[in-house]
Amino acid sequence: MADKFCYVDENLKVINENIAETADKCGRDINSFRLMAVTKTVAPEIVNHAVNLGLKLLGENRVQEFLSKQEIYDKSAEVHFIGHLQTNKVKYIIEPMSMIQSVDNIKLAKEINRLAIAHNKVMDILCEVNIGGEDSKSGVAPDRLRELLEQISEMQGIKVKGLMTIPPPSNSDIFLGRMAELFNDIKSTEIPAVAMDELSMGMTHDYQQAIKYGSTIIRIGTGLFGIRNYN
C-alpha cells in the first residue's frame, strides 16, 4: 500500500525542502503557515496516505465529489471547502467542514449563517477575492471586499478569519503582492468581529512566492498528487 503511493512521499519531500528553503530566505517560521493537500480527482486511499504522512489539512473543491469520498477519509484530517459553492449545496457541508474559504457574496454568506445557527455552530470562513479582476474567476472584487466583510461581520453564525485568492497564473507575483497589500490594509483598519489571521494563497506553481508574501495556507494539488485529468 505504502509502496504504491510512494510518489506522494517523494513529492512531499521536495515540497518540504522548498518550503524550508523559502522560509529561511524570507525569515519566516515554518510553523507560521500550513500546507493544505488539495484533493480534487484524487482517490480517497491516496488522500489517506497523504494524511498518514502528516498532511492534516485537506481542501475540497466539489461538494458531490467530497460526499462520495467523505466516509473513507481518515478522520484525523481537518477539511476546508475551497471551490465554487452554490447556495443550495451549503447544507451538505455545513457539518463536516471546519472552514469555507470561498465566500464571495452575501447570498451565500446568509445561507451559511442560517444553517450554521441551525446546527449550533459558528462557521469559520475566508472571503475569496478576485485579485486579478478576471471574468472567469469567482471572488469578490477588491473594491467591494470591505462592504462584504462588514455585512458578514453582523452574522452570528459566521466568523471571518481572513482572505483567500487564486491570482492570475501568468502574473502571480504581482497579484500575490497586491493581495498582501489588501490583506494588510484590511487588517490595519480593523473591522469589528472580523479577524485577519489567515491569508490563503499559493498553489503548485507559486507557493514559494506566496510564502514570501505572507501566505498562511498554501494549497497544493498537482505538486503533491501529480497531474489531474480534469480541473
Looking at 26-171, list the stretches that DSSP marks H as alpha helix, in order from N- to C-terminal side.
Answer: 44-52, 63-69, 90-93, 106-118, 145-153
The reply on whether position 149 binds ligand PLP by CB under 6 A is no
Distance separating the N- and C-terminal Cα atoms of the chain: 26
By CB under 6 A, tell whether 158 contacts ligand PLP.
no
Name the one range near ligand PLP by CB under 6 A: 22-30, 130-138, 178-186, 213-221. Answer: 213-221
- The SS3 of residue 212 is helix
DSSP three-state, residue 219: strand
- 40 touches ligand PLP by CB under 6 A: yes
When asked if residue 176 is in the footprint of ligand PLP (CB under 6 A), the reply is: no
Stretch 41-70: interaction string toward ligand PLP, x if CB under 6 A: --------------------x---------
Given 203, 210, 211, 217, the residue binding ligand PLP (CB under 6 A): 203
Choose one: 108-116, 140-148, 173-181, 220-228; the region binding ligand PLP (CB under 6 A).
220-228
Q: Rounded to an integer, what distance in angstroms lies between the CA atom of residue 91 and that of residue 67?
A: 12
Place of cell 481572513: 162
Radius of gyration of the chain (CA): 17
Strands (E), 49-106: 57-60, 78-81, 99-103
DSSP result, 156-207: TTEEEEEEEE---GGGHHHHHHHHHHHHHHHHHT--TTEEEEEEE---TTTH
Q: Which stretch binds ligand PLP (CB under 6 A): 11-19, 45-53, 208-216, 217-225?
A: 217-225
Q: Considering the complex, what minimum distance in angstroms separates the CB of residue 189 from ligand PLP?
A: 27
220 makes contact with ligand PLP (CB under 6 A) = yes
To ligand PLP, the closest distance from the beta carbon of 231 in angstroms equals 7
Is residue 38 at the binding interface for ligand PLP, with CB under 6 A as the rule? yes
* Position of minimal CB gap to ligand PLP: 221
- Residues that bind ligand PLP in the complex, under the rule CB under 6 A: 38, 40, 61, 82-83, 166, 203-204, 219-223
